[in-house]
Structure 1
Amino acid sequence: MPEEVLLELRGRVGCITLNRPKALNALSLEMIRALTGALLEWRSDPAVLAVAVRGMGKDGPFGAFCAGGDIRFFHRAALEGDPRLEDFFTEEYSLNHLIHTYPKPYIALMDGVVMGGGMGISQGASLRVTTQRTRMAMPETQIGLFPDVGGGYFLSRCPGHLGEYLALTGQTLSGSDAVYAALADGCMEAARLEVLWDTLQHTPFESGAAVEHWIRTFFVANTDRFTLALPKINAYFGLETLPQIVHALEAATSDAWAQETAAVLRKRSPLMLHVVLEQIRRARSMGLADDLRMERDLVRHCFDMAHLGRRGATSETVEGVRALAIDKDHNPRWNPARIEDITPEMVAPFFISPWPAWAHPLRTLA
């Protein structure tokens, strides 16, 4: 079985290749541990000036960055009571924090699919590079989850109310749109990625900043217009409550965009849409560490909805994964089934930590 994370030192740049192409490089616990170990080792190695990460595509290097976490594992582990599910999220969020606070340049080459956990290992990069093949999203509401891996932190810092829109709908962004959304720093041609990667080992860099500057020379002018309707997004997704947002969209009967957006929201988990709106708005005033601790609380509640009497197979997330990736019937049985049926009493407990502060699994993050 091939290694799922390939590590090499090219010149003075630590290079990481996610090597699980058949799964679009979806992160396993073993991959998270390999990434963490490499970053910790290179952090203290004076021979390493910077780190670059890419994903292996089905047809060779590049073409897919990372499609997220291994949701099939989530489903199986939740049904079996596998303690590694808890380990997965604790260690993944710790890795996200490590990347955001890394003292050396960390460069994410986000070619192809960049979703969920892939955003977690790229949004903390000091240089986030997209291409014309980039397809970026935080689509967790499709599976009855929420945009984790620091999603509250980085989505809430998008322009206007774009963060609420992306978090609730799971809308996919192109590489150029990602730059406008403040989720990428620049675009380059996908055809030049292999040249960039191969040249890393031959270029006599003197500093990490020099590595970043050199990679920026590959950027192309972002001449594409932002394709999302930001004024409409701000008008609707700036409304106070989820029912207000959906009802206003549905009332705009002559606006095709509004009708399509409302239809998307009606397909998502009503419960988790309410949770996600609250998450993004809380995160807007939080630092990264506090946001990750909040998300660790949220994800525990997603799989163990004790306040609703729903655990394991009856949780919203397990049902969402079942419908999308296990049975593939694309017909999740959300409970409650309607946005209008969600009460504040259903949502509030998600934001109460199941741990005292001194025992929180992410208590050491600063």
Structure 2
Amino acid sequence: MSTPITTHDAFADAAPEVLCRVLNRVALITLNRPAALNALSHGMVRELAALLERCRADDQIVAVVLRGAGEKGFCAGGDVRALYRSAAQCDAWLPFFVDEYRLDYAIHTFPKPVVALMDGITMGGGMGLAQGAALRVATERSKIAMPETRIGFVPDVGATHFLARMPVELELYVGLTGATLSGADALAAKLADLCVPSSWLDTFETRIENLKWDSDVLAALRRVFEPPCNVVPHAALDTQLPWIVRHFDKRSTVERTVATLTQELGREELSREHRQWLQATLDALLGHSPTMLAVTREALLRGRQMTLAESLRMELGIVARSIEEGDFREGVRAHLVDKDRKPRWAPASLVELRAERVRHFLTSPWKLAAHPLAELGNA
């Protein structure tokens, strides 16, 4: 039996952009903004946080499932256009990021199993929601990425922490280029726990309804979402990994990576697939914000030694720098507002980028005690 999640009628006024109901003790939370690929507004972030806290307190709820409305995506990220508008208004952008990061932290540390259905587009802020889940389910329709450097931003929402699950070379490749991964790629890269046919998810509610709960809730949920005979598609990363390792060594600067990619492109005996990968990777590094490429590289390397809370605090500081004195507004203008696809980065090239600027972006605007996320514990 399915019922609206109304713990003492507490959810009766749930915003339409977030839907929630309980099915056999599982809270099914739906991001309900399909026309915008379920991009997160500030109101959605606040509503999700409130719902999670009510699920935490309700002993009748044993698990949470996060999903997106429509067939195109789980969540395309934050509402970047809204953030672009707020960026011109002093610190008006800050409350969104503080609340979003607190929500992501709450999912990572939630005491009950959370399942994230990463069907379709799952990028940026959508990854922040999904990567804290105990069971991350991708499909053949998944398009998974952290594309922030393309718009003069940094992979955030805990990315400097959760991308560290991968080998460092793969982390740098994904974080710097914003490469889009398939569901099979995500499984290979440890960004998903399952990759299943999207059609299998069409009937998961029936399987939840028929569940008999025992002490291992997560194991029971895995049986719901994993088909009995699951064949995972080929992962392109399996072929690309040797190339990635060759060019994204942790000791290589972004400039050095650009140089080695350019050099290898000059070889005549390359396969078509190899040449296409080299060109796409080089084009990404040459087209993205030089400042944020260098800052992101250093942040990803630092994040490998940090707790989640420390990573989120570091990311918020970088976000502040990129919005107030960096390339964020220009990147959004070029790619999402005017759509001329010709961002005027400052500086315009890696050669012009000074080390002092990179260090400045990695220096927090706040002392620890005054940091907006100072209260986050160590996890």
Report the counterpart of residue 362 of structure 2 in structure 1.
351
Residue number among 333, 336, 348 corresponding to 1:322 in the alignment: 333
List, as ranges, runs of 4+ consecutive aligned residues in structure 1 with deviation greater than 4 Å: none
In structure 2, C-alpha distance between the alignment counterparts of 1:263 and 1:130, rounded to whole Å: 28
Matches within 5 A, 1:129-278: 129-207=137-215, 208-218=217-227, 220-227=230-237, 228-238=239-249, 239-252=251-264, 253-254=266-267, 255=270, 256=275, 257-278=277-298
Which amino acid in structure 2 is aligned with residue 65 of structure 1? F
Report the counterpart of residue 8 of structure 2 in structure 1.
none
Hey, what's the Cα distance between the residues in 1 that align with 2:91 and 2:182? 36
CA distance in 1, matches of 2:222, 2:32: 27
Q: CA contact under 8 A between 2:196 and 2:226: conserved in structure 1?
A: no
Instruction: Determine the structure 1 residue equivalent to 2:100.
Output: 92
Q: CA deviation at 1:296?
A: 0.9
Q: Name the residue aligned to 1:81.
A: 90
Shift in Å at residue 159 of structure 1?
2.4
User: How far 1:216 sits from its partner (Å)?
Assistant: 4.4
Paired with 1:190 and 1:140, the residues of 2 have a C-alpha distance of 27
Task: Give me the CA root mean square deviation.
Answer: 1.7
The C-alpha deviation readout for 1:223-255, integer Å capped at 9, x for no partner, is 524435111111211142111111111111125
Aligned counterpart, 2:7: none
Amino acid of the structure 1 residue aligned with 2:341: H
1:194, distance to aligned residue in structure 2 (A):
2.0
* CA separation of 1:47 and 1:183: change in aligned 2, threshold 3 A: same
Q: Which amino acid aligns with 1:283?
A: G
Distance 1:319 1:167 in 2: 20
Give, in whole Å, the separation in 2 of the partners of 1:286 and 1:173: 25
Q: 1:312 corresponds to which residue?
A: none
**1:90-137 residue CA offsets vs partner (Å, 9 max, x unmatched):** 010111111111111000011000000000000011000001100000
Letter aligned with residue 176 of structure 2:
L
| Cα offset, 1:350, TM superposition | 1.2
Give the alignment partner of residue 35 of structure 1, picking from 48, 51, 75. Answer: 48
Q: Kindly tell me: are residues 353 and 149 of structure 1, through their superposed partners in 2, closer, same or farther at Cα, counting changes over 3 Å?
A: same
Residue 312 of structure 2 is aligned to residue 292 of structure 1: yes
For structure 1, list consecutive stretches of 5 or more residues without a partner in the other structure. 306-314
Give the TM-score normalised by the residue count of structure 2: 0.89
Hey, what's the Cα distance between the residues in 1 that align with 2:42 and 2:209? 29
* Contact preservation (8 Å) 2:37, 2:72: no
TM-score by length of 1: 0.92
The 1-side partners of 2:283 and 2:232 are apart by: 31
Unaligned runs of 5+ in 2: 1-13
Q: Give the partner amino acid of 2:368.
A: A
AA matched with 2:279: Q
Count of residue pairs the alignment pairs up: 352
Task: Describe the shift of the 1:166–1:217 C-alpha distance in structure 2 as closer, same or farther (beyond 3 A).
Answer: closer
Corresponding letter in the other structure for 1:22: A
CA distance in 2, matches of 1:97, 1:122: 11
Q: Say yes or no: does 1:17 pair with 2:27.
A: no
* C-alpha distance in structure 2 between counterparts of 1:259 and 1:32, whole Å: 38
Structure 1 range deviating more: 317-326 or 192-201: 192-201
How much does 1:63 deviate? 3.5
CA–CA distance in 1 between the matches of 2:327 and 2:212?
52
Contact between 1:156 and 1:164, CA under 8 Å: does it hold in 2?
Answer: no
The offset of 1:201, in angstroms, is 3.1
Q: Report the identity percentage.
A: 43
